[in-house]
A and B are shown apart, each in its own frame.
Chain A
Amino acid sequence: AQSVTQPDIHITVSEGASLELRCNYSYGATPYLFWYVQSPGQGLQLLLKYFSGDTLVQGIKGFEAEFKRSQSSFNLRKPSVHWSDAAEYFCAVEGQGGSEKLVFGKGTKLTVNP
């Protein structure tokens, strides 16, 4: 069965610092991979997705993620964090074919210090 691990429950960074949020997945083949962001009380906004091709994908708000097959990882990065990036971040995996469901990680809460 598919699973997603986000090892960091809570991360605190200073504004302007770089950020990396970790995500590891378990799936038999190459899945579709996603990062979503959720502000308090809000819905899920898609930051970026990986289906195939270039393993470095660019998303909205200056985020990028790199798919590393050998490490079963899809880590999210941002070179310079803004206070407005404070939110919860979810990594998710979707299997290929049919009506595959999304499996989410438990999320990483990001706090940004001024």
Chain B
Amino acid sequence: EPEVTQTPSHQVTQMGQEVILRCVPISNHLYFYWYRQILGQKVEFLVSFYNNEISEKSEIFDDQFSVERPDGSNFTLKIRSTKLEDSAMYFCASRPRVGYTFGSGTRLTVV
């Protein structure tokens, strides 16, 4: 069964550093997403991406965040200057018309 692949599985970064989280969505899917889950809390929507542009973003997704689909296969989330509160599990997801497939997540630890 096709999978959404996320790399790395765990990243540790220093506060203030830039970090890029990478995802390879399922190839024939149309919509791409990033969600995050702070430890012990619920999964929260960050951003959706369709037709090479952001279609919706949450309040969490401020100017420090950006997304890109640089080559038609990868889908990246960049955090420009990480803060301690950015520590979380970040999930990438993709879907065709309906029905999500999630990646296994990247655990980001900001120290």
Which residues does A use to contact B, with CB under 8 Å?
Answer: 32, 34, 36, 41-44, 46, 49, 51, 90, 92, 94, 96, 98-99, 101-107
CB distance from B37 to the nearest CB of A (A): 8
Please indicate the chain A residues that have their CB under 8 angstroms from the CB of B91 in the complex: 43-44
Asked whether, in the complex, the Cβ of A32 is within 8 Å of the Cβ of B43, the reply is no
Asked whether, in the complex, the Cβ of A51 is within 8 Å of the Cβ of B102, the reply is no
Please indicate the chain B residues that have their CB under 8 angstroms from the CB of A42 in the complex: 104-105
Per-residue CB contact flags for chain B residues 29-43 toward chain A (1 = under 8 Å, else 0) read 001010100000111
Number of B residues whose C-beta is below 8 Å from A? 24
Asked whether, in the complex, the Cβ of A102 is within 8 Å of the Cβ of B45, the reply is yes
Please indicate the chain A residues that have their CB under 8 angstroms from the CB of B107 in the complex: 41
Which B residue sits closest to A4, measured CB to CB?
B42
CB distance from A94 to the nearest CB of B (A): 7
Asked whether, in the complex, the Cβ of B102 is within 8 Å of the Cβ of A43, the reply is yes
Asked whether, in the complex, the Cβ of B98 is within 8 Å of the Cβ of A43, the reply is no
